[in-house]
Amino acid sequence: MSNQPQVLTFPATHEGFETAFADLREWLDGSAVGTKAHFNAELVFEEIVTNIVRYGYAGGGDEPVAVELQQGPGSITMTFDDGGEPFDPTGKSDPELPKSIEEAKIGGLGLMLVRKAASDLSYERTDEGRNRFSVTIPAE
Amino acid sequence: MDMDISDMNDDLKKIVLSGRLDTPGVDQVETRFTAAIVPGGKSAIVDLSGVDFIASMGIRMFIAVARALSAKEANIALYAPQELVKEVFDNVSMGDIVPIAATEEEAVAAVSG
């Protein structure tokens, strides 16, 4: 059984995130993907959307965030579309991991987890001035 | 997000977390979790068997508490994570900076070492 594509549209706020996160989980429950894909889809959504909410609109703006959910034969693709500051997550490298707790910095781990979960990532800044970031997750 | 605290002995606390360590879950539990462990300055072990989701916010919470305890010469160890939670830890090499044990006994040994 394959899920119908769905678009979640919500304000770039804490409350918007929580509502959309619940909608995502409902969509995933209706899909036939395995436990790991379900977990990774939630992980990617959480990391990307909390980044957008926290940093994307620091310079102002109130355009909604849209997340397109699509289920393919062996994968789930989520496309995050926001009107915030230009930000290309594919252009970041993984942080250097600390070897001791004293030197551990707190940050940069979210995108690293996204990269580990994804089989494919792509980013474009559209002519309309929006970020479009697509993440494909194997549906194992 | 639920949290249960008990004393293993005079020098060791045990915290049992259950639920989801996503952003809302961390928001709910972080203040209580930190307050239960850090001010006393005792070592702690954390049972994660009831945690079925973790994202970077949850990892940050553990690193922040581990660092605060380290400054007081105490340690923290996490144990019994579910398979997918363990994979998240492995993906950021969390075990290099905070011990992640399979069992309670191993966690006690890791903080007592």
When CB atoms are compared, the residue of B53, B64, B96 closest to A97 is B96
B46 or A60, higher pLDDT: B46
Which of B34, B56, B90 should be substituted to probe chain A, the one whose Cβ sees the most A Cβ atoms within 10 Å? B56
Confidence band for A105, pLDDT divided at 50, 70 and 90: low
- What average pLDDT does the segment B26-48 reach? 96
pLDDT for position B82? 98
Range of the domain at A64: 6-138
pLDDT for A58: 83
* Chain B, nearest residue to A53 by Cα: B23
Q: pLDDT band at residue B10, thresholds of 50, 70 and 90?
A: very high
Gap from A128 CA to chain B (nearest CA, Å) = 30
Amino acid present at B61: M
Measured in whole angstroms, the distance separating CA A126 from the mean position of its chain's CA atoms is 18
**What average pLDDT does chain A have?**
90
Instruction: Note the pLDDT tens digit of each residue in B51-105.
Output: 999 999 999 999 999 999 999 999 999 999 999 999 999 999 999 999 999 999 9
Q: What is the 3-state secondary structure (H, E, C) of A47-105?
A: HHHHHHHHHHCCCCCCCCEEEEEEECCCEEEEEEEECCCCCCHHHCCCCCCCCCCCCCC
Q: How far apart are CA A74 and CA A78, in angstroms?
A: 14
- Domain count across chain A: 1
Share the mean pLDDT of chain B. 96
In a domain, A1, yes or no: no
To 5 degrees, how large is the angle CA A28–CA B62–CA B10? 130
B2-112 folds as Transcription Regulator spoIIAA (3.30.750)
The model's confidence at residue A101, banded by pLDDT at 50, 70 and 90, is confident
In this prediction, residue A83 carries a pLDDT of: 93
Q: What is the pLDDT of residue B57?
A: 95
Count of A–B CB contacts within 8 Å? 60
Residue B24's region, left for phi above 0, alpha for psi from -120 to 50, else beta, is: alpha
Please tell me the predicted confidence (pLDDT) of residue A3.
77
* Backbone angles phi and psi of B93, in degrees to 5: 50, 40
Are the C-beta atoms of A139 and A33 separated by less than 8 Å? yes
Residue A96's pLDDT is: 76
**B84 vs A98 pLDDT, higher one:** B84
How many whole angstroms separate alpha carbon B81 and alpha carbon A119? 25
CB contact set of A75 (below 8 Å; sequence gap of 6+): A119, A136, A137, A138, A139
pLDDT-derived band at A32 (thresholds 50, 70, 90) equals confident
Residue-wise pLDDT tens digits, A6-17: 999 999 998 999
Q: How far is A111 from chain B (nearest CA, A)?
A: 9
In chain B, domain spans: 2-112
List Cβ neighbours of B19 (8 Å cut-off, separation of 6 or more). B1, B2, B25, B29, B50, B51, B52
- Cα A105 to Cα A8, A102, B86: the distances in Å are 33, 9, 20
Summarize the confidence of residues A38-54 as an average pLDDT.
Answer: 95
